Amino acid sequence: MNLAKKKTPEQKGPKKVNNPNVMGLRAQVLEQPITETLEVNYMPYAMSVIVSRAIPEIDGFKPSHRKLLYTMYQMKLLGGSRTKSANVVGATMKLNPHGDAAIYDTMVRLSRGYGALLHPLVDSKGNFGKVYSRDMAWAASRYTEVRLDPVCQELFRDIDQDAVDFVPNYDGKLTEPTLLPTTFPNVLVAANQGIAVGMASNLCGFNLGEVCDATIAYLRDPNVDLMGILKAPDFSTGGQLLYDGAALAEVYRTGRGPIKLRAKWRYIKEDNVIEIYEIPYSTTVEAILDKVAELVKAGKVREISDMRDETDLNGLKLAIDLKRGTDPDKLMNRLFQSTPLQDSFSCNFNILIAGMPRVMGVGEILDEWTAWRMDGVRRRTYFVCKKKEDKLHLLKGLKRILLDIDKAIKIIRETEEDAEVVPNLIIGFGIDQIQAEFVADIRLRNINKEYILKRVEEVSELEKEIADLKDIINSPGRIKDIIIDELKNVKKKYAAPRRTEIVYEYQQAAEEEKAAAVEEIPAYPVNVFISREGYFKKITPQSLRMSSEQKYKEGDGPYLQWEGNNGDELLVFTDKHQCYKTRLSDFDDTKASVLGDYLPTKLGMDPEEKFAWACAPGDYSAHVLFFFDNGKAARVELSAYQTQTRRRKLTGAYCDKFPLVSACLLAEDQEMAVSASDGRCVVFHTASLTPKTTRTTQGVGVMAVKAKHKVVWAKPLAATHIVNAARYRARSLPAAGALLKEEDRGEEQLTIL
């Protein structure tokens, strides 16, 4: 019986297909299922990028950082004099199989000159660019010099004591550490960013002193409130951090979330100049200058006469020249809202743990780091203990011989061959070969009473030290105490004051800024004109008095008109049941002799979407009446369109079940007239319609429309030519209405069909 299973196409492997080519020969094309291609080709590549390049590990370094720093350590650049960067780059290529440009870029980011880290790891000399500048290029590696910064002593303190594993480099001729045995949680101190395949990592820096205190507290009590000690992230570019307790707690808990930053500035009254001297870590001076220039060019900021970059050797400085009478506080509040002077840093604490990427909160990171560091201290202690045990073993052999030194001398003198000295000592004293080798190599001058007594005393001291070391290895509490002592020492030697100021009154300040931003919109009266096809004009009364004749496209004509203020909001409804929110101030003042702005283009409407109706909502206390061609009317509260955030587009603005015929802004109840295509008309009072908060309500019937007919227009009674209103008034809704008399028809009614 054949028990072999029939293979599926995926299990059979690639399929060979013969195809003729242009030369008349036949070529074999291998067909490979896409699932197999992803598994065999793509997944190994993706994992290689994640594990070997882009995501930092628990020591706070990517492989490229680690290889560079270890190479500099091997070159004796910790505590030594500087060397040319090109030398370091060349030596690093023995461990890092990448081009020199990539290695030098890594060095630049770690350097003191570049300023990306709170505690730079590379002490640099020369032009290394600046983290806050997009266009400032750093000098070539042959012109700059580097060495390791003193803080790197805490990275390599245990490197030679088996605290971490070593692996062969890419060609197998050298070895390199898998991690650096940092004595403090560098992963929380050094800012790090990486983009892998399908995932990314973005770690912000924290103040070293706060990190040490938080780690000490966590070692003593894992349930400690970290936010009370580790106040907030700290950034090398300074600036201000807008403290949001809930958002920060989410970042600490999950490892994800935004942190709001803003620039620091001062006002020089004598020169009427604003100087910006610290900016958010996540932006650059060029991005700020470009955005401010864009606002000035668009006429949205009129208070600035000039802005320039005055950065020099003393540090960053952006100067803004103000026009006379400008309030600097109000201007900066507007710039914070509209430019990268206020920006967000998106935290994503994605770290490799045992080769697997994990997004962790601050507590989880400290838990993983302390577990890893305790293992490193245990390994280091075991290494020292093993060295002392080896030495004790030798001294015990020496002690045996020293008790009868004459016998040892006699054995050596009576041995005829050199190779027999060690075996004869082993036989004569009952020691092993290692001990015998050590004794045989003792110089003749050391065979004296003083030497013998010192060696004997050293045995007892070593036994005490070894017992203490073994106790440390088996005692997690003592290991934690060692780590705590190391953290205290690190804080004492390297801690620095916070660079990023924490602004705790963030919520109140945000409300004040929002109000200030609204106030800063120039307020002046305007007249609004919108045509049937959606051409918009905003005209000042002075301009309207000079030329009141409106220009329209052929086939177009007047539709909506009202008087308002430049700061008013505007709601624009479309035939696709959407509402676009904007302000009159977003439109330029124009003249009656031009066509105006085409709303579908100006507001970025969807393809084939057309303008239907618009209104100024004011304080959102009024209602909107929607009339549909089936005779129904919906009364919707304007507050249904009010949003807390600056949403630009609302979907589901009104009912999409029936075609819209007309819409009307209802500030107070009044009589409305509705007419159908059969010539009938109904007059009713809006008080009979119940307001709804649901935008998509279908409404209620106000006119009973006969078959094959539909509603063609709806207007306030005061805006019609109806003289005999009593003839058309409805006693109850819906009503069939009455035929319009000739004197009540007036001009042909406009519709939005």
Pick the CATH number of 61-181 from 3.90.199.10, 3.40.50.720, 3.40.718.10, 3.40.640.10: 3.90.199.10
Residue 751: the pLDDT is: 44
**Least confident interval from 262-266, 324-328, 440-444, 480-484:** 440-444
The predicted pLDDT at position 612 comes to: 93
Mean pLDDT of 328-345: 91
pLDDT in tens, 624-668: 999 999 999 999 999 899 886 667 888 899 999 999 999 999 989
Classified as helix, coil or strand, 89 is helix
Q: What is the pLDDT of residue 306?
A: 92
Residues 114 and 107: beta-carbon distance below 8 Å: no
Would you state the structure tokens that stand for residue 749, as one six-digit string? 């009614």
Residue from 339, 218, 226 nearest 274 by CA: 339
Residue with tokens 């919108």: 530
Indicate where the chain has its CATH 1.10.268.10 domain(s). Answer: 375-494
Residue 21 pLDDT exceeds 60:
no
Asked whether 339 and 290 are in contact (CB, 8 A), the reply is: no
The pLDDT of 228-245, averaged and rounded, is: 93
Q: Residues 125-136: what's their mean pLDDT?
A: 92
Q: Could you report the per-residue pLDDT of 539-563, keeping only the tens digit for each?
A: 988 888 887 788 898 889 999 999 9
Q: Rounded to whole angstroms, what are the CA distances from 126 to 71, 114, 132, 141?
A: 21, 10, 17, 10
Higher pLDDT pick, 75 / 403: 75
> In the structure, what pLDDT confidence band is assigned to residue 406 with cuts at 50, 70 and 90?
confident
Which pLDDT score, from 0 to 100, does residue 3 have?
41
Top pLDDT among 453 and 627 is at 627
> Token pair of 741, please?
């008399």
Residue 331 pLDDT > 60, yes or no? yes
pLDDT digits over 157-202, tens only? 999 999 999 999 988 999 999 999 999 999 999 999 888 777 889 9
- Residue linked to tokens 């040892």: 408
Q: What average pLDDT does the segment 716-726 reach?
A: 89
Nearest to 620 by CA among 648, 644, 587, 654: 644
User: Residue 464 CA to chain centroid, in angstroms?
Assistant: 53
pLDDT above 90 for 714: yes
Closest CA to 613 of 530, 552, 669, 671: 530
Q: Of 504-508, 517-521, 557-561, which one has max mean pLDDT?
A: 557-561
Q: What is the largest CA-CA distance in the chain?
A: 148
pTM of the model: 0.68
C-alpha span between 562 and 527 (Å, rounded): 6
Strands 501-503 and 240-242 come out as parallel
Indicate where the chain has its CATH 3.30.1360.40 domain(s): 264-340
Q: What residue type is 387 in one-letter code?
A: K
User: Could you tell me which of 365, 374, 369 has the C-alpha nearest to residue 203?
Assistant: 365
Every domain of the chain with CATH number 3.90.199.10 lies at 61-181
Is the domain spanning 264-340 CATH 3.30.1360.40? The answer is yes
Three-class SS of residue 93? coil
Name 346's Cβ contacts closer than 8 Å, sequence gap at least 6: 202, 257, 258
Residues 725, 446: Cα–Cα separation, whole Å: 131
- CB atoms closer than 10 angstroms to residue 5: 7
Name the least confident of 3-12, 130-139, 261-270, 394-403: 3-12
pLDDT of residue 510: 54
Choice between 14 and 73, residue whose per-residue pLDDT is larger: 73
The CATH homologous superfamily for domain 519-745 is DNA gyrase/topoisomerase IV, subunit A, C-terminal (2.120.10.90)
**For position 499, what pLDDT does the model report?**
95
Active site residues: 143
Cα separation, 459 vs 465, whole angstroms: 10
Residue 710: the pLDDT is 93
Tell me what pLDDT residue 225 has.
Answer: 92
Q: What is the mean pLDDT of the chain?
A: 87
Residue 179's pLDDT is 95
Fold observed for domain 375-494: Topoisomerase; domain 3 (1.10.268)
So what's the pLDDT on residue 22? Answer: 46
Q: Is 750's pLDDT higher than 50?
A: no
Report the alpha-carbon distance of residue 143 to residue 634 in Å, rounded: 75
pLDDT tens digits for range 730-739? 988 899 889 9
Q: In one letter, which amino acid is 493?
A: K
DSSP annotation of 686: G
User: Which pLDDT belongs to residue 508?
Assistant: 52
**What integer is the mean pLDDT of 137-147?**
95
